[in-house]
Every structure is written in C-alpha cells, then in structure tokens.
Structure 1
Amino acid sequence: MKTYLSTLFGLLFSLLQPINAQEIEPADQSQFPLKVMSFNIRYNNPNDGEHTWPNRKNRVASVIRFHGADLIGMQEALRDQIEDLQQLLPEYSWIGVGRDDGVDAGEFSPFFYRRDQFEVIDQGTFWLSETPELPGSKSWDAAITRLANWARLKDLRNNRSFFYLNTHFDHRGEQARTESARLIVSRLQIMAANEPIIVTGDFNVPPSTETYQIMTASLRDSRLLSITPPHGPEGTFSGFTVVPGSSYRRIDYIFVAEGIKVQRYGVISDQWNGNYPSDHLPVLAELLLP
C-alpha cells in the first residue's frame, strides 16, 4: 500500500511540475496566409456625380480594412486619392509613381502594404512600351501611357521574400495589351526567375483573349487555383450601381507563380444603398508562399 501511494504521489508531483518549453513541439509558423487584393478605385473624376471620390473614399478604405488585405494593388489612383487613403489607412505605406512623368503627374498604379508586416528589399517601375525605362512613354496602339510598379518584399512574419508587380493595361489598344503582357512575362523571367511571383492588375481583357493566354502561359490565375470555391460574382467590371441579375466582365486578376497555394479567392461586392465603392469590384486572394 505504501508503495502504491508513493508511486501515486510521485506521478501527481511530476504532473504539477512546469513543462520545459523546449520539450514542446513548436507549431509551424512558416505558413502565414498572405491576403492580396487588386482594386481599380476609379480616378477622381468630378463628372461622376454622386460617385465622385469624396463620396467614395471612406467606402474604399472600409473595404480594404474590413477584408484585412495585407497588400493592395490599385489602379487609376491620382495623387490626392493616395493621400486620402494614406490618411484613412495609416497602418499602410505605399509605393508608386505617376505614369506621365515618373513622379506625380497622371494616374498611379500604386500598391499599399502593411508597414509592420513587410520590408521593402527593392522596388522599381517600367513603362509598358518599346522604351520601358523612359517615363511617360507609350507604344503600339496604346491610347494612354501605362506602367508597371514592382517590389521585392519580405514578409516579416516568416522572413519569406517574394516578387510583386502591379499594373494597368490599356483599355483600347489590343496590340498594346498583348505586347504589354509579353513585356511583363519577359521581365519576370529575368528579374524573378527563382522567386515566388504575385501579379495584380486591371488587364482590361476577359480570359478568352490572347493577352490572358500570354499571362497564364507562365503564371496561374488565382481564381482557378482556389482550394475553396470562389466567393462572389465572377465578373469585376461592374459600374457604380448595383443592377440585379446583371453579369460583369472579368478583367481584374491576381496571377501567381507555380508553387503558390491559393486558399481562398473572392470578388468583393460590398455595396452601400445600391452603390459600389468603385466601378470595378476588388479581387481578393489568400495565398500561401512556398
């Protein structure tokens, strides 16, 4: 009996002792989901009536904040819109230049990123033209100057780096779009051959086009990779006003390189009293880097 009690007390005593933290198998902290958004916010056009930027800016910021995007590639942003969003979303920093002069003139295709989550290792801009290093240049049948902004970022949660690019293709020139796609693909092969790659943008084409085929020859459409069924409508070019039963063209994309997993994908159709925050619906993908 004494032996039994001694054994019992010994067992209880051992259970009450603090557990050595080194003996616990640590959880895998390397797989942090990365929430990436592509969002054409519509430029600040005073002729947009009730949909002018002062009436929309809080809604745009609310969508970004509520859906918890870590990295947001925007299109059509003017400098004053960027400054408004920086004030409304102080937890983010941004990168980008004006397309007309490489500084402040014209629309930006900037991207916002969580300042406490990412380290910017490198960054740059090139123009979608036959002279990519010349600010303000345009070629082929492009109606407007277009550019691509890129950065090499490190996610400080797991120290994993990746290459990110955000762009906006021409809305009229078919040749300009196909040549822009070829330019971007060739640049990625040189600049980020062995890195995880994420590309966001308004490409102004549906999936049936040559431009889309060029992009997806080396990258993957995140919608098609999503482990969970895609959320929301398929199309992204919605106009400002909700029209029940209507279908939209899918022209905004998040492309990823081989090896990146897409846990979730959605087109966000949040609206206020029948109005969207922009004439494009934002696209959101939750990614896992390899």
Structure 2
Amino acid sequence: MTQGSVRLMTWNIRYDSQPDNVTVQETVGSLPDPLTEPVSFLNLTGEQPWSTRRIRVYQRIIGEDVDMIGFQEALERQYDDMHELLGDNWGCVGVGRDDGAVSGEFSPIYWKKSIFTLLSNDTFWLSETPFDAGSKYTNAGSVRIATAAHFLLNASGKRFTYINTHLDDQSDKQRQYGASLILWRARSEASRGSTVIVSGDFNSPTVGNEAGAYRIITGQISPLAVNQTFQEAYAVHGRGVVDFKMLDLRTQLPSISVAGNWATYTGFNGPEDTREYSQIDFIFGGNNGGWNPILHKIETQLTDDGVLASDHRPVIADLQI
C-alpha cells in the first residue's frame, strides 16, 4: 500500500441467521492445522453459521491490512464478536436499528486506534422522522439507519466524516429517500470543510429501474425532499459546495487500479452459480475533495473448504486523506 494512505473496507457480513452458543474462543480452538489439506475441496455448500463465518471475516480483515471498516447487517452478537476478535487496538461504534441500542441490525464502524481518533458519532434513521429511534420509512421492508462519525487522522491532523449505511432491500422509494438524507448530511459536513466518505450496501445497482439511490447519491438525478427538522439540524453553511455529490471511487481511477471482482453480491450459491451476482455495495467520496484514490478492489469471500464468509464480498479502497 502507498505510504501515507489508509485502507477502508465496507462489507455486509450477513446477519446471524443460524444462532448457536459457540463462543469465539471455541471456534478459534477448533481451527484445523493450516498445513493439513481439506478432506475435500468445496465440500461445504450454502450458508454456514456465523460461528463458522466470523473467523473468515476476521482473517480477511487482517489479511488485507484494513484500517477502517463499515459493516452492515451485524447483530449485537456479531458486533461484539468482531470487537473481541479485532482486540483493544480497535475502536467501534454503532447501535441496533430497532431501538437505538442493541436490538436489530447495526451498521457499525470499526477503526485502528493507532491511525484514527474518534471525535464524535451519531445515528440517524432513514425514515420520515430521522431522529426517532426505530422509525421506519412508510412501506419499507425494514428499519434502516446510517452511522455517522467524525475522525482525526492521527498522522496528519486531518479531520474527516465517515457515514456508513444499509438501504432497504424491498422499497426503492426508501432507498431513494435514504440516499437523499445521506446526501444532505454529507453536503452539510462538506460545507463546513470536512472531507466526506460514505460507504454501504445500497441495494441499488448503478443502472436500471432500481438505480435511483445510486443516481441520487452520485448527482445524476435530484434528491427527494427530506425532513425539515433534519435539514435545520444539519444546515448547509453558506452556499455550501455547488453541485455537491458523492463520487463512486471506482469511477475515479484508471481501470488498471480497479482490481478484483465485479459483483459485490453473490448469495450463498456455489461458485459456478452466478445468477444472483450484482454490484450494490459502494465506497464514495465527496466531490469537495480532500481524498485521493489509489486502489479499489472487490475481494472474494470464498475459501477452499467451500465456506462463504458472507453472501456479499468485501469492497476495499486505498485512499490518501
């Protein structure tokens, strides 16, 4: 990695749909000898329990030498497990979307304390009443949130804002409204001179009938009108940034620096079954600048034994901030 850069990751790690009582230490203690060849390659198929998948998530993070992560779909157990695995050298913030505490899925942010200092953080709900914990957009499939945090880059003293989110999987209108709220908040931060990074599972492709959220966040179409109280709480300073929008990092690099895979969502199908492949997970940077992209890549989540760490692949970007 280029000197002076930081490595960001966004990853929907799939909620703990098959809960059990296996502890992190029990999973670690049952790991096979790394020199022993699997009994057979790709012998496991389909979704595996979180107690199996969590080690693969951790190993990918450490193997890629990631500095900051935005997860999606993490339940309280998963939030705690990743904190335990990553250790005290990492910080983390996030709340459960259903109650603003521990119930429901988190969209948490983790960071290396040696590289970043957390200055403040908050959560807002992607609904018509964004300050009401547990509120859901009309006719959306689920409650949706965004986690916002202000950080100091320790080496340079540079400050930046990071917003991590997960938009709805059923309502395109919610996705568009959620993207509009996030864009407003990002524009407000930018108007105060902050570099802004946004990441998450947008459930919105780059083109097609369900691309509204992607097109709004990237400035291709106008955002929806959002809650007035939210606008006042995050007012735009002065005139703000003219034509503010978020830029998809992979579009800001030469093709040779956009590596790895294309699809970010694969499902838990076998590696030869590509019917569900799509590109819906992104890392964006505000067009007010303050960041310089170096590399973008979409990594695999499959290991030789057939375990898929998630139904999404991790998206990674190297940036100078």
Shorter-chain TM band:
0.7 to 0.9
Q: Secondary structure at the match of 1:176?
A: helix
Are the equivalent residues in 1 in contact too, given 2:47–2:308 (CA < 8 A)?
no
Are the equivalent residues in 1 in contact too, given 2:99–2:134 (CA < 8 A)?
yes
Aligned to 1:83: 80
User: How many angstroms apart in 1 are the aligned matches of 2:47 and 2:216?
Assistant: 38
Of 231, 236, 249, which aligns to 2:259?
231
TM value normalised by structure 2: 0.77
Count residues with an aligned counterpart.
260
Are the equivalent residues in 2 in contact too, given 1:43–1:107 (CA < 8 A)?
yes
Distance 1:140 1:127, change over 3 A: same
- What is the alpha-carbon root mean square deviation over aligned residues? 1.8
User: How many angstroms apart in 1 are the aligned matches of 2:47 and 2:183?
Assistant: 39
**Is residue 2:250 matched to residue 1:251?**
no
TM value normalised by structure 1: 0.85
User: How many angstroms apart in 1 are the aligned matches of 2:268 and 2:293?
Assistant: 29
Offset, 1:244: 2.9
Of 94, 97, 104, which aligns to 2:95?
97
User: How many angstroms apart in 2 are the aligned matches of 1:172 and 1:123?
Assistant: 28
Structure 2: gaps spanning 5 or more residues: 20-44, 220-244
Q: Name the aligned partner's letter for residue 195 of structure 1.
A: S
Aligned to 2:176: 178
Q: Percent identity?
A: 36
The structure with the larger Rg is 1
Aligned to 2:218: 216
Q: How does 1:91-240 map to 2 (within 5 A)?
A: 91-193=89-191, 194-208=193-207, 209-217=211-219, 218-227=245-254, 228-240=256-268
Higher helix share: 1
> For structure 1, which segment, 51-60 or 86-95, has the greater mean C-alpha deviation from structure 2 after superposition?
86-95
Q: How does 1:263-282 map to 2 (within 5 A)?
A: 263-272=294-303, 273-282=305-314
Aligned to 1:283: 315
> For structure 1, which segment, 48-57 or 121-130, has the greater mean C-alpha deviation from structure 2 after superposition?
48-57
Q: Secondary structure at the match of 1:255?
A: strand
Offset, 1:71: 0.7
Q: Name the aligned partner's letter for residue 247 of structure 2.
A: R
User: How many angstroms apart in 1 are the aligned matches of 2:7 and 2:278?
Assistant: 23
Distance 1:279 1:245, change over 3 A: closer
Are the equivalent residues in 2 in contact too, given 1:240–1:277 (CA < 8 A)?
no
Q: Name the aligned partner's letter for residue 11 of structure 2.
A: F
**Is residue 2:18 matched to residue 1:46?**
yes
User: How many angstroms apart in 2 are the aligned matches of 1:72 and 1:121?
Assistant: 17
Q: Secondary structure at the match of 2:177?
A: helix
User: How many angstroms apart in 2 are the aligned matches of 1:280 and 1:130?
Assistant: 28
Q: Name the aligned partner's letter for residue 265 of structure 2.
A: F
Q: Name the aligned partner's letter for residue 215 of structure 1.
A: I
Q: What's the CA shift string for 1:113-157, capped at 9, x where partnerless?
A: 002211111111100011100000012331100000011101101
Offset, 1:240: 2.6
Are the equivalent residues in 2 in contact too, given 1:240–1:275 (CA < 8 A)?
no
User: How many angstroms apart in 1 are the aligned matches of 2:107 and 2:49?
Assistant: 19
User: How many angstroms apart in 2 are the aligned matches of 1:196 and 1:189?
Assistant: 10
Q: Secondary structure at the match of 1:126?
A: strand
**Is residue 2:262 matched to residue 1:262?**
no
Q: Name the aligned partner's letter for residue 107 of structure 1.
A: E
User: How many angstroms apart in 1 are the aligned matches of 2:10 and 2:91?
Assistant: 16
Distance 1:113 1:284, change over 3 A: same
User: How many angstroms apart in 2 are the aligned matches of 1:123 and 1:87?
Assistant: 21
Structure 1: gaps spanning 5 or more residues: 1-30
Q: Name the aligned partner's letter for residue 99 of structure 1.
A: R
